[in-house]
Amino acid sequence: MGIFHKSEQVQRRPEIESMWASALRAAAEVTRRATSSESDVFRAVTEELRRLKLRGTLALLTPEGELEIQTRPISQSAESMLRRLTGLQIAGFRFDPQEVEIYREVLSTGEALFTTDQTDTIHQILPKGLRPLLSRIMNILGSEQPAIIAPLILADRPLGTISFTANWLSSADIPMVTALADHISIALGHVRTQKKMEDSLERERLRNQVAEALASALELPVVLERVISLAAEVTGADAGAIGLLDPGEETVRFPYIMGLPEELSLRPYHRGQGVIWQLIEERKTILRHEYSEHPGAIPTWVDTGVHAFLGVPLIVGDDVIGGLGLFILDTKRQFNEEAVEIAQAIASMSAIAIKNAQLYTDATQRAEESQALIRTARSISALLDHETVLQMIAEQAKALLEADGSRIHLIDPEKGVLRCLVALDPEANEIMAIELEVGEGITGYVAEHGVPVLQNDPREDPRGLYVLGPLGHEPESLALAPLKVRQRTMGVMTVRRLGFNRPFTPTDLDLLTAFASQAAVALENADLYSQIAAQAQRLEIEVADRTRELALSEAHYRALVETSLAGIVQINTEGKFTYVNQAFAELLEISAEELIGKPVTGYEGFVPEIHHMLLNRFYDRMHHKRPAREVHDIELVTTSGRRIPAIVASSLIVDEVGEPQGVTGLIFDISERKSLEAALRAERDRLDALLTNIGDAVMVTDPNGVIEYVNQSWERLNGYSAEEALGETPRLIRSGHHSEDFYAEMWETITNGRTWRGEVVNARKDKTQYDAALTITPVLDQSGKVINFVGVQHDISALKELDRIKSQFVSDVSHELRTPLTNIRLYLDLLGRSTEDPARVTRYLMTLSRESERLANLIDDLLSLSRLDADAIPFKPTAMDINELLAGLVEDRRTLASNRGLTLSLEADPSIPEIRGDERLITQVLTNLLTNAMNYTQDGGQIILRTGKKSRAEGEWVVAEVVDTGLGIPPEEITMIFRRFFRGHASQVTAAAGTGLGLAICKEIIDRHNGRITVESNGVPGHGSRFIVWLPFPKDV
């Protein structure tokens, strides 16, 4: 057979060589042909290979490093079948060559490889979800043939791969395939080089055209129009717009729009509105093939028919000044990557031209505004008549800002309201009839805060006022500036433009603010001129009135000081008493005359140890080193030697220029207060000791339920510190267990002055819940009004849990005992009725024996659990070898396992140390686990006993594992597997005998050894389960 294939191959080799020669000539022809794109190369290669009856697949590397198939190597009918089976298209299909062994090696080594069968390669290329269909796919592709895969390399850089498939291919054909791949690589290189040159020339031509068009204009409207027109022309856009940031950088306006309704340019777009803000904030080009699907799409723009969108930020240096937007209205067209590059190039050059035009416009406008402001200021400064000045200011403001109306509001100093005194407006009478409170409306806001306001849509301003009639409906733009002199706001100047097509700019507001400053000075001058005469007359009257008031004030002051219960003294700069009232003299049991003129430090009424302190404080205050006003405690001594605690409030006396002239002191006797404080402190200490040491949790709240105090027992019970609880309400520990009606009834009881008692379920800080016996007692004042609530609660969770466990245990035991007893009674009855059939009697007796044994086992397990719970089982830990114990257990059970068709083995780690434990109890645990494994593992299964060491954060462990290949444990049963009387799904499937107490006993025993027992299983039959017994390392290891 080998000789026949060799002979056939030898006979066909010249024919094959001829075919490869034709293929190479065809590839050379493709290379020489002046193709204009890569698709032309793909088409030519496909046609030539098809003509030569060769099947090849060409794939190119994408920027992401994937291989994308460019040709269709199979017939249309086969491709249709493949698409119906998998949903995949061959042309355009991508895969990661690093995940496919042969492609990874071809690309990394740069050498072609031969494979006799592509089945493994196709399996690696397919998405994981389609790999089960591999055999059917191979039938369609017919890829169980030899193949050669060669890299496409140009200038040492891989471009992609080409593969050939034919039943006659061999490794001897690799040089021919490599040569063919080189021709195709060269052809692709020619196309890409030509394309780069054409793109570069086109971009350079475009830059020259844009630069020439923009350099010839400085006016902003002309520049904007040229930018949009050029960008739309070269990118194929149907419409375009340029959005520019306002100086405040909080709004964007579109001063020029082409191909879309002009109304779109009338409204400003605030920060966050529209795609323009994403352009500005992210500084990245945005391309959307469907504008309406962008989250920032504005409905009014969508309604105009905008379909595709290309946006480019306009950046000058580090600053973004706006964005260029291009739109396609035809739903059948899209922007391509070339259009994106062109738009970016135009935006880069246009941004500088737009910025220069803005600077030119701003400079021109500033010069014109400065001249107008100078002329206006001169005209109004020459006037002194108040009404004439107001009228002139309003007219000049209207003209200066090219407004449709202007008005001036002044604050009425008597009523404290804003009144409009001049209004150059068709509705002047209506406007002047409205009085505004300071702070009311936008005008009132400017008057209250003294800041200018620019509002191009007052209807959207929450500070605006709704006015009935025509004033409230006509759209307008407003600019308002405060009339301020020396930081005092005397009124508000407002200019108004009708409609939204001429909005005010921050520059307009700056101009109005500057003019308002000049106008305020003129108004101030006119007011001062009219007030001078009246002011002089008022001053004469006020001087006389003030003299009488001072005399009266002196009399009132002396009467107040002399009748005061507090001691009052005055000390001059030399530290001597200059005044002492009667109360202070009586406090010290001395006459006032004996104190006046004496130095403070030489007076024996102060405790000697504070003399130095008083002297330092006095001189520090005289030199401004201490606060001008200060309160502190002192102790006085009467002439009889009695000590009096007192509070002194000191206040510095200064003259008209702020120089110290002495000190005034108010002295209060606080002897009674000190005694009360001491008594209260002692009582509080006793109460605090009681509440701190009491076992119950105590909470005190105010009448509104706000927590004012919790004791340490409350903190321990609920997990919150006192700092976290104070200021909160008892809702802090609500568990959600009770209804709102429950708490409403509780609240009604205690707010009516009655004590509430009951049980509640609360939640700790860690979200765990507990049961508590709660008593809430209201604390009432003398009038019977509630002033506090005191809640005392005792944790009864343990009692509740014990009660629940008792009930559950009684229920479970009753059920487990009832089942075997019922069977025993039944078969005893059957045995009494039928004694003549020996076989039946034997069967009944065997059943009775099994049920009796089951009952005995249940009772033994119950007794074991009872002894474990009562700590009545002797616990005698000794050094024991866990490997030796398991070896004996395996040897004892090996014959039984073999009879059941099971393989039983031991994998012992000889390095584990001896542990300390009760060998009898540990043997009981491992025997139980092995018995369970044998009961729930089917014939032919395997059971492994394994020992080893494991490390965890809490320390080192010796572990013993029982691993089987049985039915496994469903995930939902894992958390219940150690519950008493629980028997899972496996026990129902196998009908294995048991009480459901074995694993519960195992857990109790391992807990007694300070260990733990865990289980792992995915619940899949055949995967089995793994029980792990964790026992702590001996302390000397």
CATH code of the domain containing 914: 3.30.565.10
Q: Interior CA angle at 1025 toward 1022 and 1027, to 5°?
A: 160
401 and 348, same structural domain?
Answer: no
Distance CA 714, CA 849 (A): 58
Instruction: Compute the half-sphere exposure of residue 361: CA atoms within 13 Å on the CB side of its CA.
Output: 14
226 and 109, same structural domain?
Answer: no
CA nearest neighbour of 283 among 242, 327, 244, 318 = 318
> Is 506 a domain residue?
yes
992 and 898, same structural domain?
Answer: yes
> Is 469 a domain residue?
yes
User: Where would I find the H helices in 110-219?
Assistant: 119-125, 134-141, 174-215
CA distance between the termini of the chain: 71
Q: Are 61 and 159 in contact (CB under 8 A)?
A: yes
Distance CA 234, CA 345 (A): 11
> Is 925 a domain residue?
yes
Q: Interior CA angle at 918 toward 914 and 919, to 5°?
A: 70
260 and 128, same structural domain?
Answer: no
Distance CA 549, CA 486 (A): 31
CA nearest neighbour of 1007 among 818, 873, 811, 836 = 873
Provide the greatest CA pair distance for the chain. Answer: 147
| 259 dihedral zone (left: phi>0; alpha: psi -120 to 50; beta) | left
1003: which 2 tokens? 């857990």
Which residue, of 823, 848, 868, is where some domain finishes? 868
330 and 224, same structural domain?
Answer: yes
182 and 100, same structural domain?
Answer: yes
**Count of residues in the chain:** 1037
Predicted pLDDT at 11: 43
CA nearest neighbour of 422 among 450, 469, 360, 380 = 380
439-451 residue pLDDT tens: 888 988 998 898 9
Residue type, 627: P
836: CATH: 1.10.287.130
β-bridge mates for residue 668, sequence order: 647
Distance CA 742, CA 747 (A): 9
429: CATH: 3.30.450.40
Decide: residue 734, CB within 10 A, 0-12 exposed, 13-18 middle, 19+ buried: middle
CA nearest neighbour of 580 among 591, 635, 589 = 591
Given CA atoms 92, 98, 102, 103 in this order, what sign does their dihedral have? positive
586 and 496, same structural domain?
Answer: no
246: which 2 tokens? 């306002």
**Backbone phi, then psi, for 493, in 5-degree steps?**
-105, 130
For 425-558, where are the E strands, in sequence order?
A: 435-437, 453-455, 476-485, 488-498
Distance CA 745, CA 731 (A): 15
Distance CA 291, CA 308 (A): 5
Residue 256: its H or E element: strand 251-258
Query: Who's near 178: CB < 8 A, 6+ residues apart?
Result: 111, 112, 150
Instruction: Compute the half-sphere exposure of residue 370: CA atoms within 13 Å on the CB side of its CA.
Output: 6
Distance CA 993, CA 617 (A): 94
Average pLDDT across each block of 10 residues of the chain; the chain has 1037 residues. List them in order: 32 65 67 64 73 78 87 80 85 90 91 88 88 85 79 88 84 85 81 73 64 58 79 85 80 85 80 85 88 86 88 86 88 83 79 70 63 58 66 82 88 87 85 87 89 86 62 75 85 87 81 80 71 66 74 69 77 84 80 80 64 74 79 80 83 82 83 78 71 81 93 91 92 91 92 92 92 92 90 83 62 59 71 72 72 63 63 80 90 85 93 90 86 88 94 89 92 83 68 70 88 91 92 77
> Is 172 a domain residue?
yes
342 and 238, same structural domain?
Answer: yes
412: which 2 tokens? 């009425």
Residue type, 822: T
Q: Are 515 and 508 in contact (CB under 8 A)?
A: no
Q: Interior CA angle at 627 toward 625 and 632, to 5°?
A: 115
Q: pTM surpassing 0.75?
A: no
894 and 864, same structural domain?
Answer: no
Q: Are 503 and 536 in contact (CB under 8 A)?
A: no
For residue 741, how far is the Cα from the chain centroid? Answer: 36
Distance CA 728, CA 707 (A): 6
Distance CA 798, CA 381 (A): 90
DSSP 1033: P
For the stretch 414-421, contacts whose Cβ atoms lie closer than 8 Å and that sit 24 or more positions apart, written own/partner, are 418/443, 418/444, 418/447, 418/491, 418/492, 421/390
Predicted pLDDT at 941: 93
> Is 792 a domain residue?
no
359 and 240, same structural domain?
Answer: yes
Distance CA 346, CA 232 (A): 10
Distance CA 248, CA 878 (A): 84
Strand order in the sheet with 955-964: 903-907, 942-952, 955-964, 1026-1032, 1012-1016
Residue type, 70: Q
> Is 931 a domain residue?
yes
Q: Are 1000 and 868 in contact (CB under 8 A)?
A: no
Query: Who's near 937: CB < 8 A, 6+ residues apart?
Result: 902, 943, 964, 965, 966, 967, 1024
DSSP 978: T
> Is 735 a domain residue?
no
CB atoms near residue 853 (< 10 Å)? 12
Distance CA 310, CA 333 (A): 13
Q: By residue range, what is the domain housing residue 911?
A: 874-1032
Q: Are 71 and 188 in contact (CB under 8 A)?
A: no
Predicted pLDDT at 480: 93
Q: DSSP letters along 174-191, please?
A: HHHHHHHHHHHHHHHHHH
**Backbone phi, then psi, for 959, in 5-degree steps?**
-120, 145
Query: Who's near 521: CB < 8 A, 6+ residues apart?
Result: 381, 485
897 and 859, same structural domain?
Answer: no
Which residue, of 660, 675, 690, is where some domain finishes? 675
How far are the Cα atoms of 687, 770, 788, 921, 948 from residue 776, in angstroms, in the given order?
18, 18, 10, 50, 57
Distance CA 167, CA 566 (A): 120
For 583-692, where are the E strands, in sequence order?
A: 629-637, 643-654, 660-669
Locus of tokens 């309604």: 303
Determine the 3-state secondary structure of 753 from DSSP: coil
Q: Are 974 and 984 in contact (CB under 8 A)?
A: no
445: which 2 tokens? 């806001």
Q: Are 844 and 835 in contact (CB under 8 A)?
A: no
Which residue, of 614, 640, 675, is where some domain finishes? 675
Predicted pLDDT at 520: 77
Number of domains in the chain: 6
Determine the 3-state secondary structure of 1010 from DSSP: coil
> Is 424 a domain residue?
yes
619 and 488, same structural domain?
Answer: no
Decide: residue 245, CB within 10 A, 0-12 exposed, 13-18 middle, 19+ buried: buried
411: which 2 tokens? 């604050």
Determine the 3-state secondary structure of 154 from DSSP: strand
